Amino acid sequence: MIKFLIAISLSTLMLLTGCAGKKKPQISQRPPSQILTHGQAGTGMAARGKQRIIKIADQEWDFFGRQTIRMDESGESIPHVGHWEDDSDPWSSRVNWYWRAVSKPGLDGFDCKEPWSAAFISWVMQQAGLSRSQFPGSDAHWNYVQYFVDRAGGPYPAFVSHAITEYSPKPGDLICATRGSHGFIPVYGQDPSAVLRGHSKLHCDIVVEKRGNLIQSIGGNVRNSVSKTQLPLGSNGLLKPSERRPWFVVLENRLGS
């Protein structure tokens, strides 16, 4: 597998394929209760605020080599390439940790056909100490997004859903897009519940930084790694959907700092 240490265009990137000809090693059976990030972000810790979620996501991005993606009107580029899911240990095993959070301990980074972005988000929330009622982890983003959309008017939710025309994302929030329908962009401002009725395949990132009309978000299984993506906001501070990322909902983080 060839990796470039210079900016990579999307068309070039699509020529690179993971897991080609690699033999999957035996998965370590380390129990989930012992799995901590190298910053000691375990479920036994009491803090459950936004900054804790951001810190854990940032640690995982650092662990995977700080792969960076830039998205703007001209397209997508990767000015820095990190470690990929199938780069053997410790990265392939790290993906196994994420799968364990959604009760799929038999999968790891060599199972490239199994999208692990929702498992990554679920693991981060689990490590941050959120309960199942605060964040119902799942191997599919659709399940937890629907959970919060259905409870938008309920008392004291951990996350509140907003259409992207209603709310400007902030650090600690989740931003979610549809995927799997090439060329399709949902109607701007369409009600999230309506989008969910027509699309079961989603992707979500954790917003970790906001400066002016630029945000940075971290997601798993983004270009074969845990990647940080730089996204421009509109002049009104709202997300702008694109063909690559048809954003339609923001899950506002209502946890304390």
For residue range 117-135, what is the model confidence (pLDDT) as tens digits? 999 999 999 999 999 999 9
User: What pLDDT is attached to residue 34?
Assistant: 38
The answer to whether residue 238 scores a pLDDT higher than 60 is yes
Binning pLDDT at 50, 70 and 90, where does residue 9 land?
A: very low
Is residue 77 in some structural domain? yes
The answer to whether residue 17 scores a pLDDT higher than 80 is no
Is residue 195 in some structural domain? yes
Is residue 164 in some structural domain? yes
Query: 125: domain range?
Result: 54-253
User: What pLDDT is attached to residue 45?
Assistant: 38
- Mean pLDDT, the chain, whole residue set: 84
Is residue 14 in some structural domain? no
Q: Which of 7-21, 53-67, 70-84, 103-117 has the lowest mean pLDDT?
A: 7-21
Is residue 3 in some structural domain? no
pTM: 0.85
- The string of DSSP codes covering 171-230 is TT-EEEEE-SSTT--PPTT--HHHHHHH---EEEEEEEEEETTEEEEEEEEETTEEEEEE
The answer to whether residue 35 scores a pLDDT higher than 70 is no
Number of domains in the chain: 1
How many Å apart are CA 49 and CA 34, to the nearest integer? 22
Is residue 176 in some structural domain? yes
Is residue 184 in some structural domain? yes
